[in-house]
Amino acid sequence: MIALDTNLLVYAHRRESPWHPGAKACVSELAVRGVPWAIPWPCLHEFLGIVTNPRIFKTPTPVAMALRQVEFWMESPRLVFLSEEPEYWEELRATLEGSQVVGPRVHDAHVAALCRHHAIEELWSADRDFGRFPGLLVRNPLVASP
């Protein structure tokens, strides 16, 4: 199963992003492909926080429109939301100890641990920082593979 990171969700939603066409195509492909795909809940929360933030966008997305976007994605019958379960703690602990990340990078460790806990095959992200988490295959679908 493929999971999507926040940045791809933001790029797919915000038309002014230079990566909008590619990100929108990636999300659309997953939504209609007929196989399960995933969004970690923390990435959805972060998406809502970013697109509605006037410090990030001169004209932020109105909350109602951002919520409609999420509901549109939720209409994909094969979408799975990744959340914490009691056993998740051990994965998060191992991820933090193994990567030695601190501060704001703990959010990335949270997403990585969720993906590993749910046996995600690949995380699609434009964020190279996920490379610090062993056992998680990360691919940026917006750039050509070598």
Where are the chain's structural domains? 10-83, 84-141
Burial of residue 73, with CB atoms counted within 10 A of its CB: 0-12 exposed, 13-18 middle, 19 or more buried:
buried
| Residue 16 and residue 51 in contact, taking contact as beta carbons nearer than 8 Å | no
Beta bridge partners of 82: 40
Give pLDDT tens digits along the chain (146 positions).
999 999 999 999 999 999 999 999 999 999 988 899 999 999 999 999 999 999 999 999 999 999 999 999 999 999 999 999 989 999 999 999 999 999 989 999 999 999 999 999 999 999 988 988 988 999 999 997 65
- Residue 33's pLDDT is 87
Q: What is the pTM of this model?
A: 0.93
